[in-house]
Amino acid sequence: MIKVEHLTKSFGTLKVLDDISIDYRPGICNMVIGASGSGKTVFLKTLIGLIAPDAGSVSFNGQDIMSMSFEEKKRMRQHIGVLFQSSALFDFATVLENVMFPMDFFTDWSRAEKKERAEYCLERVNVRDAGSKYPSELSGGMQKRVGIARAIALEPKYLFCDEPNSGLDPYTSILIDQLVSELTKEYGMTTVINTHDMNSILEIGDNIGFLYGGKMLWKGDRHTIFHTDCEELRRFVCANSLARNIMEQR
Amino acid sequence: MIRKFLENTGRYALFLKTVFRKPEKWAIFWKQFVTETDKLILSSILLVAVISVFIGGVLVIQTASNMQNPLLDRMYVGYMVRESLVLEFCSTMVALILAGKMGSNIASELGSMRITEQIDAMEMMGVNSAGYLALPKILAATLFSPFLMLLSFVLGIAGGWIVVNLTSIIPLAKYIAGLKYCFNGFYIFYSCFKMSLFCFLISSISAFNGYNAKGGSLGVGYSGTKSIVTSCILILMFDLIVTQVMLY
Q: What pLDDT, in 10s, does the model give residues A200-222?
A: 888 888 999 999 988 999 999 88
CATH number of the domain within which A162 lies: 3.40.50.300
Are residues A148 and A56 part of one domain?
no
Chain B residue with minimum CA distance to A93: B118
Are residues A120 and A38 part of one domain?
no
pLDDT at B189: 96
Q: Within the 110-129 window of chain B, which residues sit less than 8 Å (CB to CB) from chain A?
A: 112-113, 116-118, 120-121, 123-128
Task: Tell me if B118 and A91 make a contact (CB, 8 A cut-off).
Answer: yes
- The rounded distance, in Å, linking the Cα atoms of A135 and A149 is 13
Q: What percent of chain A has pLDDT over 90?
A: 40
Among the listed residues B35, B79, B36, the one whose alpha carbon sits nearest the alpha carbon of residue B180: B79
A·B CB contacts under 8 A: 53
Task: Tell me if A77 and B125 make a contact (CB, 8 A cut-off).
Answer: yes
Q: Within the 42-61 window of chain A, which residues sit less than 8 Å (CB to CB) from chain B?
A: 45, 48, 50
Residue of B113, B121, B128 lying closest to A84 (CB–CB): B121
Using CB atoms within 10 A of its CB, is residue A246 exposed (0-12), middle (13-18) or buried (19+)?
A: middle
Chain A residue with minimum CA distance to B26: A105
Instruction: Please report whether residue A18 resides in a domain.
Output: yes
Give a three-class secondary structure readout of chain A. Answer: CEEEEEEEEEECCEEEEEEEEEEECCCCEEEEECCCCCCHHHHHHHHCCCCCCCEEEEEECCEEHHHCCHHHHHHHHCCEEEECCCCCCCCCCCHHHHHHHHHHHHCCCCHHHHHHHHHHHHHHCCCHHHCCCCHHHCCHHHHHHHHHHHHCCCCCCEEEEECCCCCCCHHHHHHHHHHHHHHHHHHCCEEEEEECCHHHHHHHCCEEEEEECCEEEEEECCCHHHHCCCHHHHHHHHCCHHHHHHHHHC
Q: Where are the domains of chain B?
A: 25-247
Residue of B24, B25, B124 lying closest to A82 (CB–CB): B124
- The rounded distance, in Å, linking the Cα atoms of B36 and A97 is 18
pLDDT per residue as tens digits for the range A223-243: 888 888 888 888 888 877 777
Q: Tell me, yes or no, if the pTM score tops 0.95.
A: no
pLDDT per residue as tens digits for the range A65-80: 888 887 888 788 888 8
What residues of A are in contact with residue B118 (Cβ under 8 Å)?
A: 88-91
Task: Tell me if A84 and B125 make a contact (CB, 8 A cut-off).
Answer: no
What residues of B are in contact with residue A91 (Cβ under 8 Å)?
A: 112-113, 116, 118
**Cβ-count burial B38-53 (b if 16+ within 10 Å, e if not):** ebbbeebeeebbebbb
Are residues A122 and A65 part of one domain?
no
The number of distinct structural domains making up chain A is 2
What residues of B are in contact with residue A73 (Cβ under 8 Å)?
A: 126
Nearest C-alpha of chain A: how many angstroms from B119? Answer: 8
Task: Tell me if B117 and A104 make a contact (CB, 8 A cut-off).
Answer: no
- The rounded distance, in Å, linking the Cα atoms of A41 and A99 is 24
Among the listed residues A217, A192, A170, A198, the one whose alpha carbon sits nearest the alpha carbon of residue A38: A217
pLDDT classification of A199: cutoffs 50, 70, 90 = confident
Best of A11, A44, A82 to disrupt the B interface by mutation (most B CBs within 10 Å)? A82
Are residues A37 and A27 part of one domain?
yes
Best of B124, B129, B133, B214 to disrupt the A interface by mutation (most A CBs within 10 Å)? B124
Instruction: Please report whether residue A86 resides in a domain.
Output: no
DSSP secondary structure code for residue B44 in this structure: G
Q: What percent of chain A has pLDDT over 70?
A: 99
Task: Provide mean pLDDT across the span A8-18.
Answer: 91
Are residues A71 and A15 part of one domain?
yes
Ramachandran region of residue B17, left (φ > 0), alpha (ψ -120 to 50) or beta? alpha
A80 touches chain B (CB under 8 A): yes
Are residues A41 and A123 part of one domain?
no
Are residues A164 and A67 part of one domain?
yes
Q: What is the mean pLDDT of each run of 10 residues along chain B (248 residues)?
A: 90 95 92 96 96 96 90 92 95 95 96 93 88 96 96 97 93 95 94 97 97 92 95 96 92
- The rounded distance, in Å, linking the Cα atoms of B180 and B178 is 5
pLDDT at A141: 86
Are residues A164 and A70 part of one domain?
yes
A104 touches chain B (CB under 8 A): yes
Residue of B24, B121, B127 lying closest to A88 (CB–CB): B121
Domain boundary among A106, A131, A155: A155
Are residues A161 and A149 part of one domain?
no
Residue A250 has pLDDT above 70, yes or no: no
Are residues A176 and A147 part of one domain?
no
Q: Which of A102-116, A147-161, A229-243 has the lowest mean pLDDT?
A: A229-243
Task: Tell me if B123 and A50 make a contact (CB, 8 A cut-off).
Answer: yes
Are residues A143 and A67 part of one domain?
no
What residues of A are in contact with residue B24 (Cβ under 8 Å)?
A: 105
Which residues contact residue B218 at a Cβ distance below 8 angstroms, ignoring those fewer than 6 apart? none
Using CB atoms within 10 A of its CB, is residue A15 exposed (0-12), middle (13-18) or buried (19+)?
A: middle
Are residues A161 and A244 part of one domain?
yes
Residue A28 structural domain: 2-79+157-248
Residue A87 has pLDDT above 90, yes or no: no
Nearest C-alpha of chain B: how many angstroms from A206? Answer: 25
What residues of A are in contact with residue B127 (Cβ under 8 Å)?
A: 102, 105
The CA–CA distances, whole Å, from A191 to A35, A121, A129, A187, B165 equal 20, 18, 27, 10, 74
